[in-house]
A and B are shown apart, each in its own frame.
Chain A
């Protein structure tokens, strides 16, 4: 669905579908990259793209996907870490972008999926619909490698670059108004156990198989 989003932003960028974009991202993950999925449809579509042992699904604590990902990145500097977050969520915690810029974790990539709305609560608009530009905010916070994703080829190039070069990177995609459809299992202890097992930090007992 390659329509321009000029009515939403004065940049001409492709409007993606969240589920499809997430599947494209997951298909490119070959080295056990940790993915921290923010609340709502963000993590539904992450789960729907095919669960990976290195996925973390945040169920509450809106706005904390990037800080959580930053913590993982600090603890495991050899592992690529991706924070997947929506516009409504990141607007709650804009300060963390400057913390990321200050710490300069080479292994952290932030992907903001921006539909300009709080999808799951009834599609109420966020400020990115009208005034806020997440990429500009990220650049002004000090994340120099911040870009809107123009189209699919650009997405591929940006992801490849974020894996090859030093980060931190922020990529932002305008997405359509489709909700996620996968049914996430809302079991925090299970999510934590599986994530830690995937990161090699689990207890490793017989019960943790």
Chain B
């Protein structure tokens, strides 16, 4: 099983049906896998905060959901996180492909990546950086269970150590 197949299997085991995303190269196997599987409802949105809104609405309607995005996409979210999913206690599952590190070629990604964890910490949002393929299903499984039980959102950051990342040969 590839890391992406294992990841999707863990989402499925935890009844996470709604998969929203603004795509990224690294997320492609997750997005493709979710789109190919009738269990999931896959929705590409026009912006990451739109996806956060959808997952919040779906949760309150009884359906678990996740938002897949690139690191730069996370940069569009602080308001939606701080004024919707955190205070309303919505266990939104953010899946962020980590750019800006380990071979990044775009300095903008490096800079926005530096804002990500401090932002999450500032609003007391739990986050895990997934770097080890073997531990990943355990972390994802427990992170989702904790999010639901504590009614809190969580961010799962996919390190290039897990995914290979995106690199520009120079």
Residues of A bordering B, CB below 8 Å: 34, 36, 56, 58-76, 79, 93, 95-96, 98-99, 103, 188-189, 191-192, 195-196, 199-201
Min CB gap B76→A, angstroms: 11
Given contacts A64-B50, A68-B53, A71-B18, whether A196 and B60 have CB atoms under 8 Å apart is: yes
- For A60, the chain B residues whose CB sits under 8 A away are 79, 82-84, 87
The answer to whether B89 and A95 have CB atoms under 8 Å apart is no
Number of residue pairs A-B, CB distance < 8 angstroms: 123
Which residues does chain A contribute within 8 Å of B61, judged by CB atoms? 34, 71-76, 79, 199, 201
- Which residues of chain A are within 8 angstroms of B44 by Cβ–Cβ distance? 99
**Minimal Cβ-Cβ distance residue in B for A71:** B57
Instruction: Give me the 10 closest cross-chain CB pairs, A-B, nearest first.
Output: A60-B83, A71-B57, A95-B46, A75-B61, A67-B53, A64-B53, A71-B58, A75-B63, A68-B57, A201-B62
Known contacts A99-B50, A188-B87; is-contact A72 B82 (Cβ 8 Å):
no
Q: Is the CB of B80 within 8 A of A61?
A: yes
Using known A-B contacts A67-B57, A75-B61, A196-B60, determine if residue A189 contacts B45 with beta carbons closer than 8 Å. Answer: no
Query: A58: which B residues are within 8 A, CB to CB?
Result: 84
Question: What's the least CB distance linking A68 to chain B, in Å?
Answer: 4
Tell me, yes or no, whether B11 is within 8 Å of chain A by CB. no
A195–B49 CB distance below 8 A = no
Chain B residues, Cβ within 8 Å of A189:
87-89
Which residues of B from 20 to 69 have beta carbons under 8 Å from A?
Answer: 41, 43-47, 49-63, 65
CA distance A60 to B53 in the complex (A): 11
The docked-state distance in angstroms from the alpha carbon of A69 to that of B55 is 10
CA distance A56 to B56 in the complex (A): 11
Which residues on A sit within 8 Å (CB–CB) of B50?
64, 67, 93, 95-96, 99
The count of residues in chain B whose C-beta lies closer than 8 Å to any C-beta of chain A is 32
Shortest beta-carbon distance from A73 to chain B in Å: 8
B90 in the interface, Cβ–Cβ < 8 Å? yes
Residue in A closest to B61 when the chains form the complex, CB atoms: A75
Q: What chain A residues lie within 8 Å of B89 (beta carbons)?
A: 188-189, 192
Closest B residue, CB atoms, query A196: B60
Within the complex, the shortest CB–CB distance from A4 to chain B, in Å, comes to: 34
Q: A70-B54, A72-B58, A74-B54 are in contact. Are A99 and B49 (CB under 8 A)?
A: no
Output the least CB separation between B67 and chain A (Å): 11
A189 to B151, CA, bound (A): 10
Specify which chain A residues have a CB less than 8 angstroms from the CB of B54 in the assembled complex: 67-68, 70-71, 74
| List of A residues within 8 angstroms of B18 by Cβ | 71, 74-75
B46 touching A75 by the CB < 8 A rule?
A: no
Nearest residue, chain B, Cβ from A186: B87
Residue of A nearest to B46 (CB): A95
Which residues on B sit within 8 Å (CB–CB) of A61? 49, 52-53, 79-80, 83-84
Docked pose: A74 CA to B63 CA in angstroms = 9
